[in-house]
Structure 1
Amino acid sequence: MDAGKLLLRSRRANQRLHSLIPGGAHTYAKGEDQFPEGMAPVISHGLGAHVWDVDGNEYIEYGSGLRSVSLGHVHPRVLEAVSRELGRGSNFVRPSMLEIEAAERFLATVPTADMVKFAKNGSDVTTAAVRLARAATGRSKIAVCREHPFFSTDDWFIATTPMNAGIPDQPTVKFPYGDLEATEEVLRGGDIACVILEAATSVEPEPGYLAKLRDLVHAHGALLVFDEMITGFRWSEAGAQGLYGVTPDLSTFGKALGNGFAVSALAGRREIMEQGGLRDSRERVFLLSTTHGAESPSLAAAMAVMDTYVEEGITARLHELGDRLAAGVRAAAAGMGVEEHVVVRGRASNLVFVTLDENGQPSQKYRTLFLRQLIAGGVLGPSFVVSAGLTEEDIDRTVDVVAQACVVYRKALDSGDPTAWMGGRPVKPVFRAYS
């Protein structure tokens, strides 16, 4: 792809975005700075696992909607459910029957939880979990997993990142994943209301780790919170807690729950959740009160997603596709002798790739080179996170594009400098202090 010729409308659209929206996108991870210079397509529409930009270019898409569109765009069951509710009204002065049905469906799908409350995005529900844990324990500090990149846009988490301008000091501390001894040190420091983590990401937990962590957290009087934004449905229909058999006190879901529609969920033990309700004698917690939290079309989408996952074995399908992709990418990299530099990691349903330089260190320059080659080959993939909209042919086509990218990667490694293949400035990390 000649970016100068084939992305003219996208480049103009990006200029308009920056003049109207701080950062040029409503999510930092979708920002133009996350893509090679001049190669950040602006999307027109999508179908299944394919998207088209405003210039008319078609791409095979990975990581759709920041991992939220796991069934594929315009999925018929989801579309039918949403369309049906659009003709019945979307928001009322009192709860609708759909709220009962959606809650029952969620708790049947995630049977480790006793109660659920819906909201619109992940930050809503992770912050609600933090507030509830503080009220339940009478403590103020939050312990977040050091290796996990994101939990919330709210102050209690963003204060721990390099983008902490405008945020006062927060009582948030960090602990290392998989290290129970170091975690106990953090807990011994006192005043920890809850420990929040993703049960797994690119690294599987050691056998027994999550159960021992839960026991340790409880022994120190804190609550255990699983952030299931990514693991929910991709690990199993019941999330990581269902797969690993460890029940947290509270858990949060989103992303795949709505297949791109705005819905998230806070779930957990009844005795804790009830403190945010009307049937508890303790001091009340302002848990979640959102105008659009129970908006009907999104709840209908969530119900359709849950039904589809359970009835059609979507989680298994994601793993099949991911296994095929990972094997192909690794073979392509090995074929060009770059298997130690283009590395695929993670569970098959949630694959990421790492780009390493000649010294084996993570490199934004080599990531830029690699992304540029993918986009030029018609693959839009800041990750290799699959959706069920992909076909085996899509996977095979992706592997072919990766193989061509590895040819260029090998040339750059041999030259000792990838600059000539970057096409401009390198892509940048999301969390950084200055633009």
Structure 2
Amino acid sequence: MSEQGLRFPRSVRLQGRSHQLIPGGCHTYAKGEDQYPVLAPGFIERGRGCRVWDVDGHEYIEYGMGNRAVGLGHAYPSVLSAVEAALVGGCNFTRPAKIEVDCAETFLELIGAQMVKFCKDGSDATSGAVRLARAYTGRDLVACCADHPFFSTDDWFIGTTPMNAGIPEAVQKLTVTFRYNDIASVKDLFERYPGKLAALILEPSRGDDPENGFLHEVQRLCRENGALLILDEMITGFRWHAAGAQKLYGIEPDLSTFGKALGNGFSVSALAGKREYMRLGGLEQTDRPRVFLLSTTHGAETHALAAAIATMQVYQNEPVIEHLYAQGTKLREGIEQAARQHGVDQHFKVTGRPCCLAFATLDLDGKPSQTYRSLFLQETIRRGVLMPSLVVSYTHDDDAVMKTIEAVDGALAVYARALDSGADHLLVGRPSRVVFRRYNSGDERAEVIAESSEIARGAIERRSESRLAATA
């Protein structure tokens, strides 16, 4: 049996089954096994605070926290208590629940917007904002920031990526792009498409602060040209500032979207904005056509809104943001010191804002490398840390940070060896891959689950035989 099978036998079996049942083996591309080295836990069993346990019983200090959706920590007690209390009374009704008003009041008071509509994921919120902007302006074109990697699973954005199969070319042409902190690229769009842009959508930041009043200049250009400014706060919200990066940077967008950490991992997102625009999706009489804005069966589930209220209350009453910055700073300083000691500081770099750090893995030529990324992940996983990024939570205490720095120190010693003699003989199996790619290589799936396919097939056949026997 391979080293993967020895260390992760249950994960290997589950991977084989999952790929026969679920396209990609999971429900979020960023969680796919192609994003991790072969020697990685395939499935998580449970989490508590900043730690998780995989199905094979290994414990890890986790970073990334559910793709930045868990800001307080896994199974955070006050959030769980609120969810449990809400569920006792049912989670979904024929008419609105009072908690919808309660959550809207809490959210709007914190963020400072005028109206909000809740839904379940970020894609629904951003796509709702785009539709609203198009309806209000009567224009078709939308511009998104090319430096920010993800806005929605819907056609208007995915059409701009290499994974645009299935999206009509006519739809792809309705979205154009600009560059962050490059106001000339924004001006160029308005000059190339006069009177045609409905909105510009961007994240307030990906870690780099806006330079030379960039956000305010974008807002000015939008107003001068009759377009709406949409800020995507899926990541920056509840990290940069409790009221979002818009509060930190002192800007009031026309529309903004929140999610991820809003419910500490529970499925809830929000489209918020000025009444002038949001009311088009309501019942108020206007001189404009109605907008089918957001209408989701599960958008206002009581337990998700209870999680959001409880989460926001923690942010309002405790120093969550301060803690994220403090722990992120300690993490950055410790890792950068380790990188210098191993002589790899020009090849391994910590990037981003302390509250939302990431890292860059560079090869001997200083170029981004999936092979070196995979090797680094492999070695930190061996040492009990699962860190596709360096995103901390409120429960990452000093002990977790120190143990992480120790694990990274050991991993960077291997990284230094790889720079000297090559990474291929140190990495077990294939390297990870980028999400947005046009094709899968023909043998990729075989490499990933070769060992598990026969086991999984046998298990499925046995379950099928059991069902036939039960109905005979």
Aligned-partner residue type, residue 258 of structure 2: F
The runs of 5 or more residues in structure 2 that have no matched partner are 441-472
How far does residue 218 in structure 1 lie from its aligned partner after superposition? 1.3
1:322 maps to which of 323, 328, 348: 328
Aligned-partner residue type, residue 139 of structure 2: R
Moved more, 100-109 or 4-13: 4-13
Does 2:190 align with 1:187? yes
Aligned to 2:265: 260
How far does residue 260 in structure 1 lie from its aligned partner after superposition? 0.7
Cα 1:280–1:180 shift into 2, 3 Å: farther
Q: Conserved in 2, the CA contact under 8 Å of 1:36 and 1:426?
A: yes
Aligned-partner residue type, residue 155 of structure 2: D
How far does residue 39 in structure 1 lie from its aligned partner after superposition? 2.0
Q: What is the CA deviation profile of residues 27-77 of structure 1, one whole-angstrom value per residue up to 9, with x for unaligned ones?
A: 000001001024243111000010000100000000111100110011011
- Which whole-Å CA distance do the structure 2 matches of 1:85 and 1:222 have between them? 40
- Which whole-Å CA distance do the structure 2 matches of 1:378 and 1:40 have between them? 11
Q: Conserved in 1, the CA contact under 8 Å of 2:197 and 2:227?
A: yes
The runs of 5 or more residues in structure 1 that have no matched partner are none
Cα 1:410–1:392 shift into 2, 3 Å: same
Aligned to 1:279: 284
Q: What is the CA deviation profile of residues 353-396 of structure 1, one whole-angstrom value per residue up to 9, with x for unaligned ones?
A: 00001111101111011010011111111000111121111110
Aligned-partner residue type, residue 176 of structure 1: R
How far does residue 89 in structure 1 lie from its aligned partner after superposition? 1.2
Aligned pairs for 1:70-89 (under 5 A) are 70-89=71-90
Q: What is the CA deviation profile of residues 291-338 of structure 1, one whole-angstrom value per residue up to 9, with x for unaligned ones?
A: 010110000000000000110121111111100101111011111010
2:275 maps to which of 263, 270, 273: 270
Q: Conserved in 1, the CA contact under 8 Å of 2:348 and 2:362?
A: yes
Q: Conserved in 2, the CA contact under 8 Å of 1:11 and 1:38?
A: no
Does 2:204 align with 1:203? no
- Which whole-Å CA distance do the structure 1 matches of 2:285 and 2:57 have between them? 57
Aligned pairs for 1:4-403 (under 5 A) are 4-111=5-112, 113-169=113-169, 170=171, 171-190=174-193, 191-281=196-286, 282-403=288-409
- Which whole-Å CA distance do the structure 1 matches of 2:144 and 2:242 have between them? 25
Q: Secondary structure of 1:320's partner?
A: helix
- Which whole-Å CA distance do the structure 1 matches of 2:210 and 2:424 have between them? 38
Aligned-partner residue type, residue 162 of structure 1: P
Percent identical pairs in the alignment equals 54
- Which whole-Å CA distance do the structure 2 matches of 1:33 and 1:390 have between them? 27
Aligned-partner residue type, residue 274 of structure 1: R
Aligned-partner residue type, residue 240 of structure 1: A
Aligned-partner residue type, residue 352 of structure 1: A
Q: Conserved in 1, the CA contact under 8 Å of 2:41 and 2:54?
A: no
Aligned-partner residue type, residue 249 of structure 1: D
How far does residue 228 in structure 1 lie from its aligned partner after superposition? 0.2
How far does residue 212 in structure 1 lie from its aligned partner after superposition? 1.2
Q: How many aligned residue pairs are there?
A: 433
Does 2:409 align with 1:409? no
Q: Secondary structure of 1:420's partner?
A: coil
Q: Conserved in 1, the CA contact under 8 Å of 2:69 and 2:262?
A: yes
- Which whole-Å CA distance do the structure 1 matches of 2:408 and 2:210 have between them? 29
Aligned to 2:465: none
- Which whole-Å CA distance do the structure 2 matches of 1:422 and 1:388 have between them? 33
- Which whole-Å CA distance do the structure 1 matches of 2:212 and 2:179 have between them? 17
Aligned-partner residue type, residue 120 of structure 1: K
Aligned-partner residue type, residue 327 of structure 1: E
Q: What is the CA deviation profile of residues 199-255 of structure 1, one whole-angstrom value per residue up to 9, with x for unaligned ones?
A: 001312114111111101111110000000000010111101011001110000000
Aligned-partner residue type, residue 302 of structure 2: S
Q: Conserved in 1, the CA contact under 8 Å of 2:39 and 2:378?
A: no
- Which whole-Å CA distance do the structure 1 matches of 2:278 and 2:268 have between them? 19
Moved more, 203-212 or 216-225: 203-212
Q: What is the CA deviation profile of residues 264-286 of structure 1, one whole-angstrom value per residue up to 9, with x for unaligned ones?
A: 00000110000111113110000
Please, what TM-score do these two structures have when normalized by structure 1?
0.98
Q: Conserved in 2, the CA contact under 8 Å of 1:188 and 1:220?
A: no
Q: Conserved in 1, the CA contact under 8 Å of 2:357 and 2:389?
A: yes
Q: What is the CA deviation profile of residues 112-158 of structure 1, one whole-angstrom value per residue up to 9, with x for unaligned ones?
A: x1100000000001000000000011100110001000000000000
- Which whole-Å CA distance do the structure 2 matches of 1:107 and 1:237 have between them? 12
Q: Conserved in 2, the CA contact under 8 Å of 1:128 and 1:287?
A: yes
Q: Conserved in 1, the CA contact under 8 Å of 2:339 and 2:348?
A: yes
Moved more, 205-214 or 291-300: 205-214
Please, what TM-score do these two structures have when normalized by structure 2?
0.91
Q: What is the CA deviation profile of residues 162-195 of structure 1, one whole-angstrom value per residue up to 9, with x for unaligned ones?
A: 1011111220001011111111111222211000
Bigger radius of gyration: 2
Aligned to 2:431: 426
Q: Conserved in 2, the CA contact under 8 Å of 1:233 and 1:239?
A: yes
How far does residue 432 in structure 1 lie from its aligned partner after superposition? 0.4
RMSD: 1.1
Aligned-partner residue type, residue 180 of structure 1: I
Q: Conserved in 2, the CA contact under 8 Å of 1:32 and 1:40?
A: no
How far does residue 422 in structure 1 lie from its aligned partner after superposition? 1.4
Q: Secondary structure of 1:44's partner?
A: strand
How far does residue 340 in structure 1 lie from its aligned partner after superposition? 1.0
- Which whole-Å CA distance do the structure 2 matches of 1:183 and 1:139 have between them? 17
